[in-house]
């Protein structure tokens, strides 16, 4: 205690040093939390970009799959029409390929971007 029961200059300096140290530690902790949140935000942005890119790729794949299935169906129709001799092997092959194409179309429909 100092003069008149007041805090001495030495006690005030010591208390100031303790408070400054505590404030420094708090500032470092807040900085670490902010840095951690920044990393988390950057990671989340990357994930969202990846999801957007993946969605675009799935959409493109669905379009390509639908176009391929349509083209295959058109070619199968030509083959079936040209099968004037009603060759059972050709008819069976056409039916088999149509089944595979239908399955491909059904699987593509299950994926929604």
* Any domain includes 1: no
Half-sphere exposure of 79 (CA within 13 A, CB side): 18
Look up the domain containing 25 and give its range: 7-110
* Any domain includes 93: yes
Give the percent of the chain with pLDDT over 90: 19
As a whole number of angstroms, the distance between CA 61 and CA 9 comes to 76
* Any domain includes 41: yes
As a whole number of angstroms, the distance between CA 103 and CA 89 comes to 21
On whether the CB atoms of residues 62 and 111 are closer than 8 A, the answer is: yes
Prediction pTM value: 0.55
* Any domain includes 96: yes
* Any domain includes 2: no
On whether the CB atoms of residues 11 and 2 are closer than 8 A, the answer is: yes
pLDDT confidence bin for 23, thresholds 50/70/90: very high
* Any domain includes 105: yes
* Any domain includes 89: yes
On whether the CB atoms of residues 41 and 34 are closer than 8 A, the answer is: no
pLDDT confidence bin for 113, thresholds 50/70/90: low
- Across the range 19-40, mean pLDDT stands at 87
Structural domain count of the chain: 1
């Amino acid at each position: 205690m100092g003069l008149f029961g007041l805090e001495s200059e030495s006690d005030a300096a010591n208390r100031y040093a303790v408070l400054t140290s505590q404030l420094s530690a708090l500032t470092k902790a807040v900085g670490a939390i902010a840095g951690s949140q920044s990393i988390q935000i950057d990671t989340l942005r990357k994930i969202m970009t990846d999801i957007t890119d993946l969605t675009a790729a799935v959409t493109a794949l669905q379009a390509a799959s639908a176009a391929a299935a349509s083209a295959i169906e058109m070619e199968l129709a030509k083959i079936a029409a040209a099968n004037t001799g009603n060759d059972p092997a050709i008819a069976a092959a056409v039916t088999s390929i149509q089944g595979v194409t239908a399955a491909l179309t059904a699987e593509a429909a299950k994926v929604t971007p």
